[in-house]
Amino acid sequence: MTETAAGSRLDAFLATAIDGLSRSRAKALILGGHVTVGGATVVEPKHPVNAGEAVAVGIPEAEPAVPEAEAIPLSVVYEDADVIVIDKPAGLVVHPGAGNWTGTLVNALIAHCGDSLSGIGGVRRPGIVHRLDKDTSGLLVVAKTDRAHAGLAAQFADHGRTGPLVRGYRALAWGAPSRKWGTIEAAIARSTRNRQRMAVAKEGGREAVTHYEIEETFGPAAEPLVSLLSLGLETGRTHQIRVHLASIGNPVIGDPDYGAGFATRAARLREPARGLVQTLGRQALHAWLLGFSHPVTRKKLRFESPLPADMASILAALRTP
């Protein structure tokens, strides 16, 4: 129980008053009915609290991980008592959901980490503070303790705007943006045509900012067939890079949701690049860079992952004279 400062939002106050508690976690506790103000349960995160009011918080026990442990091989890049960094292959779903209740990264982590895996993420996604799409490969960090979870969640909520988080992606895209580097600022919302997809919102939507730089282009200089792009995020919307690149006419190669209309362009490539692209079977998007401050020791950590074999083979073929 603690005394409050006048004029504070309840969620903001709790995040400040309780060491290691993120604002998002504070909000979840409030919504879950675990917080009282003046002896009365409050379920509104914006609830104002006044000086002298007593606020009590009950931290519930971590819910048991319903997903079963599965002995799925993991490519572990780094691991200590608090965090684990995984190089996720394409095709591996991060957490259980409709149609994917087994065979996920969470199932593998439960087997690998056992009881040490953070419970704050909830029943279906213990330890998960960010995600990669099923068919996007690359680096992903998972919390093994609740303290680490809170610290990582705060960094990902900031998206590297003012904090130490750094995330870098590489993509093979159709064509090339008109400028060597630039920023795509376009709000993203659920598509009104297909609720399983996202789209640039004409109005409303959530802020989304993607930075890109052209590393290489392939084909005629005036009208490249393919480009290798380096990308960074200021926000973390679902399918953000894929939606943003499609919105400027340069969808990720192999993207079945946002680039299907460009698939016939593969016929314009020379072999073996043509065949490699046609049989890729996933979007050519890879999370190659991940940097963050260790949530417990505060040491700055940085990890890099080379392009996976499928993307590297396409790139090598494109570079062949």
Q: What is the tens place of the pLDDT at every residue in 4-44?
A: 455 678 888 888 888 767 777 788 888 878 899 888 888 88
Residue identified by tokens 């005394």 is 3
> What pTM was estimated for this model as a whole?
0.79
* Number of domains comprising the chain: 3
Nearest-5° Cα angle at 85, 311 to 310: 10
Which residue, among 13, 57, 22, has the nearest Cα to 295 in the 3D structure? 22
Tell whether 281 and 181 lie within a shared domain. Answer: yes
Q: Are residues 228 and 139 in the same domain?
A: no
Supply the pLDDT for residue 1.
45
- Which phi-psi region, left, alpha or beta, contains residue 20 (left: φ > 0; alpha: ψ -120 to 50)? left
Dist CA 103 CA 115 (whole Å): 19
Q: What is the mean pLDDT of each run of 10 residues along the chain (321 residues)?
A: 61 81 80 85 87 83 70 96 97 84 91 81 80 96 92 90 94 97 96 89 92 97 96 95 98 96 95 97 98 96 98 97 86
145 in the same domain as 77: yes
- 173 and 280 both lie in a single domain: yes
Place of tokens 């095709």: 91
Q: Is 82 a catalytic residue?
A: no
For residue 99, the enclosing domain spans 67-158
3-state DSSP assignment of residue 177? coil
> What is the token pair recorded at 35?
């917080």
Does residue 296 lie within any of the structural domains?
no
Domain CATH for 89: 3.30.2350.10
302 occurs within a structural domain: no
- Catalytically annotated residue among 87, 133, 146, 310: 133
pLDDT at 7: 64
State the residue for tokens 């870098």.
168
| CATH at residue 36 | 3.10.290.10
**99: in domain:** yes
Domain shared by 181 and 276, yes or no: yes
Question: How do residues 139-148 score in pLDDT, each as one tens digit?
Answer: 999 999 989 9
248 plus 210 within the same structural domain: yes
pLDDT at 62: 59
8 and 49 Cβ atoms separated by less than 8 Å: yes
Residue 301 included in any domain: no
- 77 in the same domain as 146: yes
**Residue-level pLDDT at 213:** 98
Ramachandran assignment for 316, one of left (phi > 0), alpha (psi -120 to 50 degrees), beta (any other): alpha
3 state SS for 117-175: CCCCCCCCCCCECCCCCCCCEEEEEEECCHHHHHHHHHHHHHCCCCCCCEEEEEEEEEC
DSSP 221: S
- Rounded to 10 degrees, the C-alpha dihedral 242/121/128/280 comes to -50
